[in-house]
Every structure is written in C-alpha cells, then in structure tokens.
Chain A
Amino acid sequence: MNRLHILLILTALLLVGCGGSGTDESAPAVDDSTATTNSNNDSTNDSESDSESEAETSTEDEGASEDNQESESPQANSNEADSNDENIDAGFNFRSVVNVDLHLDVSAISDTKSYVSLCHYQASSSTDINYEDCLVRGSTSYGVFAATFDAAPHFEQLGLVVWFIDTSIQPLQFEVSRMEMDMGEVHIVAGN
C-alpha cells in the first residue's frame, strides 16, 4: 500500500470524527496545571498524563465555554493516526515559493538613473505590463540594479521593464520565464 493510499484511507477516517474549534476537547481534562506552576517553560515529565489524554474518548466538554457554538469535538483517533505516521517528511515545511536573485545591467544603453519594474502581465496579455501588480520596483545606479523576490508556483512568466526619465530613450522590456525563476537567478544585460 503506497503512502497516498494510506493518506486517503486516513482522510476517510478523519471525516468521521473531525471538527474545528469551538467546543472544548473531547476528553475529560487531566489536571496537570500544578506541574507547570511558576514556569511556562517547565518541561517536567508529564508523559503519563499525555498518554492518558491520547487514549480518551469523546465526551462533552466540562468547561462551559462562551464559544460553545460548534458541536464537533476534536478527533480521538490519535492511536490510529500513529500507525500511519511519517507520510510527510518532518522537515518539509509546505513552502512552495522560490527565492530568486535578480541582476540587471543596462549601463551599455544609459548609466543615468532609470526605473525598473518587475510585474505580472495584464490578464489575457503576454506583453502588456500590469504596473499595479508588481513584485519589485526600484531604480538603477550607474545602469545597474539588483534585487531578490519570491516567485509563487503559479507565476508562469513575469515582465521586466526599464523606463528612462529621458523619454528620448525607449523603454526596455524583458520577459522572465518560469524556468529562470525555478533556477533562482535572473541575469539581464541589455545592449550587448
């Protein structure tokens, strides 16, 4: 049985008894508050009470919460879950964005100040820049600009535009591809 299969079975199990917050936990509380008095970082051994609480079955909460809006209780299937652990790597943090270094050099065209915008394209266009939806905006120094940005997985391509205050110099536009983003580095040198 592969891991995904296990996960799907577990999903079905979860749907039987799961719930959000609102009422209290299902198990009768094990009062170990005395063990933590005076220190919120006290790691005094309370494994016994932990084990007990994991084995509890669902009951109504005894602590009458003013938030008692939801009838569901936290699941009481920890033992079942334990048999299926290690499905997802403990070190995997679910982060899916890519950090990208951007380097731009337009000094061959002009070393006067110019303005850089790295943006999404307009909806249903692969050429028109959406200046309201940029990731990076800045200005060159002696024709050079550097920045970092985070690219989400659904970014297919981005547009980079350089505008010169001297409008006799035409603005430059470049495309940043998904492949470049995945490589974590974008180098653009204009005029060579």
Chain B
Amino acid sequence: MTFRNTLYAIATIAIMPLAQSYATEFEQCPTQAFLIQSPSGSAIIYGVDLASGDYDTLEPGMSISKLNGVGFNFHDNYLYGWDYDAQTLAKIGSDYVSQPLNIVSGLIGQPFFVGDVALNENAWYGYRPSVGLFRVDLTDPAAQLSMTQVATANSMGNPKLTDFAFHPTNGLLYAVDNDGFLMEIDVNDGSTTVLGEVLNETNAGFNFTFGAQYFDVDEHLYISNNSNGYVYKIDLKSQTPTAEFFAYGPKSQSNDGARCALAPVEVTVGMDFGDAPDSYSTSFATSGPRHLESALFLGSQIDTEVDANLYPQSDDAASNIDDEDGVEFVTNMEVGEAALVRVTASEANGVLNAWIDFDGNGAFDEDEQVFTDKALNKGTSTLSYTVPNWAEAGTTWSRFRISSIEGLGPTGGVSDGEVEDYPVAITQQNVSVTYYPSANDYTSLAYEDLWPVKGDLDMNDLLMHMRITEFRKNDQIIKLEVTGKVAAVGAGYHNGFALQLPGVAPTTVDESRLQIEINQQTASHAVLETDQTNAVFIVMPDVKAHVDINQGCKFFRTEANCANSQLPTWKLTIPFIDGVAQNSFPAAPYDPFIFATEGMHHGSRVGNVTGGDPGRLWEVHLKNQAPTDSLHSRLLGRDDDRSDPLLGLFYQDNEGLPWALEIPATWQHPLEKVDIRQAYPMFAEFATSEGAVNTDWYQPNNANVELLYKEEN
C-alpha cells in the first residue's frame, strides 16, 4: 500500500484527516488554472493555460472519485474543494492528495459543486442549488471547523450556477449561469444581482454549462463550457460586460475550475499570431487567433511572437522570417466568380478554416467563411471557392487557420496549428490589376528640399516609399490605390507630399469616393485640388507631423544610432467617374512631389520671392516633371536651378543633377550629409551615361553600406 493509499484508507475509514500533516503547498499564486474532471470514478486534475487552451495532466487519477467546488486559496497556496467520498471540504496540496477537513457543525451532508476561496478573507464559500450559500472559515484548517449558511437559495433568486469565482479585489463573487447571464453575489448576505446576458444559447448553437470559472488580476472572468471546452472572457471593468470568445480548452461532462485570481493571464511562450489589422481581432487583447507552436502548420515554417505584429508592422515584412507562406492565391478574386487557392500543410492531421472579408467591413463574419473544417493532406492542395455576388471590390483581408481541433472560428487560442493572415484584392469581373513596382515592393522617392539652392545630395530630406495599384477594365484605368510609407525625414523644414497625374483632369475623379488614410485612419484634410489643370492629390500636408523622432536624434531615420521602425503609412484611393483611357494615362510613378507646408517657414530666400511662407507656392518634382499650377514661377531658374519651361526642363542644376529621384525599389538611403555619389559609387556613371550603364546602381550590393542608414543601431 502506498503512502497515498494509506492516507486514503485512513481518510475513508475515519472520515477524519491527519490534520497536522499536509503536503507541500503549491507555488505562490500560479498562473495556470486548475481544471478538475471526474470522468470515470477518479478525479483528474489538469493544469490549463488559458491563453492557448493547452493543458497538462497534473494528476491522472486522484484517490477519490470526485472533487468539486474547488478554489485556490491565495492565503496558504492550497486548493480547497468538496471531496465527494469524504463528504466534506478537503485541502489539497501539490501531491494532489485530498485531506478532508474536520467540519464539526453546520455540515449539510450534501455535496457542493459550486465553490471558491475568497481573497480578502481566508474562507471558502460554497453554493448548493435549492439550498443556499455557505461559508467555512479557513484561518486554521487543522482546527475543528463550522459551516455557516450565509443565505438561502430562495433569497438569492435560485440562480442556476455550476461554478463561481471571486473577483481579485472587490470581494464579490461572479458567475455566468447556465442561461448565459452574468451575476454578482455579495457574500455578506448572498444578495445576487443579474448584470445582464453575456451569451445566448440559441445564438451560440450549443447548451451552456460553465463548470469552470476563473478570474485574472486584470478583472477578466474566464468561463469554460463543459461540452465543447470553449473558453470565453468577460471584462468586468466594462460598464456593459460582454463575453468574447477566448480559447479552445479541454471539454468534459464534468468540470470544475480553480485559479489564483491575482495572477495575470499572459501570452504563452511559443505562440503564433496573425497580423491583420486589429479590427479583425488579431492581438491578444482582442482575443485574436493564436496557436501554440507544433509540428502542424501552414507552408514551410512557423514563427512565434509575444503578441501579434499588426499590419503594417508585420514581422513578415520587417524581418527575414516570412512565415506567412502556406497560402497562395493563384487566381484573382472577381466578384461572383470561382477562384482558386493553394494551401500547403506540414502534416496530414489538420483541418482548415478560412475567412475572407468580402464586404470589407473590417471583420470576419459568419457568411465570409470560405473553408470549414476542410481536411488537408500533407503537402499542397488546390482548393476552389466562390467570391459572392455581394462582395465589395477593393483591398481586404483573409485569415487561414490550421489545427487538429475542429470548429475553429476566426479568433481565440488553440493548442496547435498556425494562423496566417493575408491582404487580398477583390475586383469586379474582368478587371486586371497592375502593381508598380510590384505587389510586395515599393518604389522610393527621394527629395532634397533646399530648391532652388543645391542641397547636400544625401537625398533624404524626405524619402517616401510608394506602391501603385492600377485597376484596369476595357483599356480604361478605373481606379488607383496608392500606398506609402514615410521612410526618412532628414529636413528641418516642414514639407508636404502630393501626387499629380499629368494629363488627367481633376473632373475625371469621383471625389465622393476619394479616400485618404494616414496610419489606417481616415484623414480630414482636403485631398483633391480642384483648381488645377491636372488632378493633384494632397497625401500629407505636413509629413514631419507624422513622424516620431527618437530622443537624441535630429531627424527621422537618417542618422547613425537613430533606428526607428515605426514608419507612418498612408493609402490614397482614387476612383474615376468613367475611367481614364489607358493610353493617355501617365506612366508610373506619375508625378509625386513635395511642397512647403502651409504657414511654415521654408527659408527666407524662398520667402522673399513668394512674399512670405510659401505653402503651395513652393514645390520640388522629379527632374523634368512640370510643376503644378500652384508653383510660384519666379522660383524656376533661380539660384542653382536651371529649369527652362520652354524646353520642358525642370528641377535640375547646372550639372543636370536633380532635386528629386525615383528609385524603383525599397531603397536603403544614405546617412545624413552623405552624398549619394559616395554612398552609391555607381550612381555617377549611371547619370553621366544617361542610364546606359549601372542601371541597378541602387542595389545594396552596389553601395558603400557603411554610409547607409541601417534599421538596427
């Protein structure tokens, strides 16, 4: 007979504990939750990671048949719960042996399956349906104890509870009953307040039995449903608490839970997240999708994060590890048409669930699920789906999840698999899409801003990365999407950034649908300058206003030891009323230019010409691009500028050097005050040969890399 069995025999014969000899306590306030199940004659204790739903078996078979109403006692780091064999409250230490307590008065002789231990007093509270709420003082568990009734079930309104949990600070009990209503219970008198319905069985599509309920220190109540293991999170700080899906945990016919309510629920080490914008519930704070790393994943690799790297700060773009590699959209997505996607699985035991935000509302809705528990073979599968007729043309997001667990939704943690989020473009039928320079790269627009005086040619007074997406139908350009990132601001002056479409009249633009977003927020400034000959779009009136310059640095991403990965982003959507003929449309990158920010000083040499702060009277364009109607023409040909409008020559000095350059790649720019010809030695001959040689002068392997800005300090 083992020691544990000896204890069990003594306990069951005498129904009295060896009260003075307890096992070792648990670690102080552990972060894991304890889940107790009793499937077949022996209680099992699991350690559950609420963040992922993953669990370990802590005790595969206790020596008692059933343990319930369990709470973690913060005061002594033991578990206390109702031992169904001893028919009394018991204390459980880290050896998971039940040691019944000696309750000598008030014991009602009926089991409790609802219970928890308070934090602001050392006492266990249990609720018995139809009977009421009871209290056992645990100040001295080895002493003779009494059980006192706090309230009758009738006085509490006969709540249908299967577990409850103490709030970490306010001393109140909270529970979600089997009808989905959140309740608050004052343990002083049992008064029960119904706070509202947080879940609805009909909407959920399954029956509720929330047998395990836990708190964390951030006042979140977690409730686990027995039949499917679904874990929901309720924020008690909210004025109107709601339950959001949180994780896929273990399921059972009989559950009870206990947890130290002063411990945080944190992201598990080794989890993979998505990276779509957070409107799709991507981050941990929004219960975003997350998978504990396993051998089952999409594509050829998986990475792990401490939280989601949300678009546009995706780690896939920012690092060399692009683990979004398991899904290939091999066809366009045209409204109302079938489409194909190739999905690669690392193993054969996974199922695929996937969503596409067809209506572009920033969320994955139920009717936007394109694959449901689709079993995948190991390797690559070509799958077909249909883009619905109600889909909105435009750029949107998709989410693909693989797991061995069936029934995954677009959010919540799970113990294996991977999530991959992809931006996708939906078009009307027979629309082709052209990307410049490509769908995954940017062209770079580099400016010097002392014009008409020569600058230092470090070409980083403003550096903008820009990508153009043209939507074409029947030889007409019907829409442009232009996206960009501010890559460097090495200027003291405040400059705006704009885009001119030479030869395209502003009246062709559907101004009612014209959109500008900066950092994913709709901007309020006037975008289209309607009084121009050509359509001119103001992207940012003051670029500098959007950058955060590191402390100790003068500029944004132009100096050594001033690395900054937070690049402001923007997106300009230009719809045309009837389309513009492709053969009369300007070539990419059109005419991107900088201008002086309104009301800001831009040098007295310019100000003396323009009669004050120049604002839109001052512009710098790419070489030989004509300015807009707004430019003060007397600045042309002034100082070092050798523009000659009659000859179609603009923005060049006496050497033919420009004040602005376009480099058709995501360019690594020179450090502050480093001449481009030093940083990129092949540039000079490219220029003097008129582009006959050294056409790829801008590639990193053609640079003096020590003279370039680097992302790492």
Contacts and interface: CB of A to CB of B under 8 A. Distances in A.
B673 A3 contact: no
Interface string B647-687: 10100111111100110110000001101011000001111
Interface in A110-164: 113, 115-117, 119-120, 129-139, 141, 145, 147-150, 152-154, 161, 163
B655 A81 contact: yes
Main secondary structure of the interface of A (DSSP, over half): loop
Interface in B260-283: none
Contacts of B137: none
A136 B673 CA distance: 38
A96 B588 CA distance: 12
Interface string B361-382: 0000000000000000000001
B696 A154 contact: yes
Contact of B332 (A36, A54, A132, A139): A139
A117 B630 contact: no
Given A22-B491, A41-B633, A147 B432 contact: yes
A72 B638 CA distance: 21
B554 interface: yes
Contacts of A62: 604
Interface of B: 328-332, 334, 337-340, 382, 384, 422, 425, 430-441, 448-450, 453-458, 460-461, 472, 490-494, 554-555, 582, 587-588, 600-601, 603-605, 607-612, 617, 622-625, 630-634, 637-640, 642, 647, 649, 652-658, 661-662, 664-665, 672-673, 675, 677-678, 684-688, 690-691, 695-696, 699
Given A20-B458, A78-B654, 6 more contacts: A8-B684, A24-B603, A53-B639, A86-B654, A87-B655, A152-B437
A29 B696 contact: no
Contact of A165 (B338, B633, B642): B338
Given A63-B603, A74-B450, A18 B432 contact: no
Given A27-B605, A139-B332, A94 B691 contact: yes
Contact of A96 (B623, B631, B656, B664): B664
Contact of B601 (A18, A32, A65, A92): A65
B604 A24 contact: yes
Contact of A72 (B431, B433, B439, B456): B456
A177 interface: no
A189 interface: no
A150 B604 contact: no
A136 B332 contact: no
A91 B649 contact: yes
B435 A135 contact: yes
25 contacts: A3-B688, A14-B456, A14-B675, A22-B554, A24-B601, A24-B605, A27-B605, A40-B631, A62-B604, A63-B607, A72-B673, A87-B656, A87-B657, A87-B687, A90-B656, A91-B624, A94-B622, A96-B691, A119-B439, A133-B440, A149-B434, A149-B436, A150-B664, A165-B331, A171-B330
A1 interface: no
A4 B655 contact: no
A27 to B, nearest CB: 7
A186 to B, nearest CB: 14
Contacts of B587: 99, 150
B493 A21 contact: yes
A87 B688 contact: yes
Contact of B611 (A36, A41, A86, A132): A36
A132 B440 contact: yes
A169 to B, nearest CB: 12
Contacts of B634: 35-36, 40, 42-44, 46
Contact of B491 (A15, A20, A131, A132): A20
Among A18, A69, A81, A88, chain B packs the most CB atoms within 10 A around the CB of: A88
B604 A25 contact: yes
Contact of B454 (A35, A61, A81, A88): A81
A25 B450 contact: yes
B623 A93 contact: yes
A94 B662 contact: yes
A88 to B, nearest CB: 3
Contacts of A99: 587
Among B384, B440, B656, B673, chain A packs the most CB atoms within 10 A around the CB of: B656
Given A20-B455, A67-B493, A87-B655, A15 B675 contact: yes
A89 B690 contact: yes
Contacts of A161: 330
B623 A18 contact: no
A160 to B, nearest CB: 12
A137 B690 contact: no
Contacts of A129: 328
Among A20, A115, A139, chain B packs the most CB atoms within 10 A around the CB of: A20
Closest 10 CB pairs of A and B: A22-B492, A138-B432, A88-B656, A18-B456, A85-B654, A115-B331, A133-B440, A67-B492, A153-B695, A152-B664
A37 B611 contact: yes
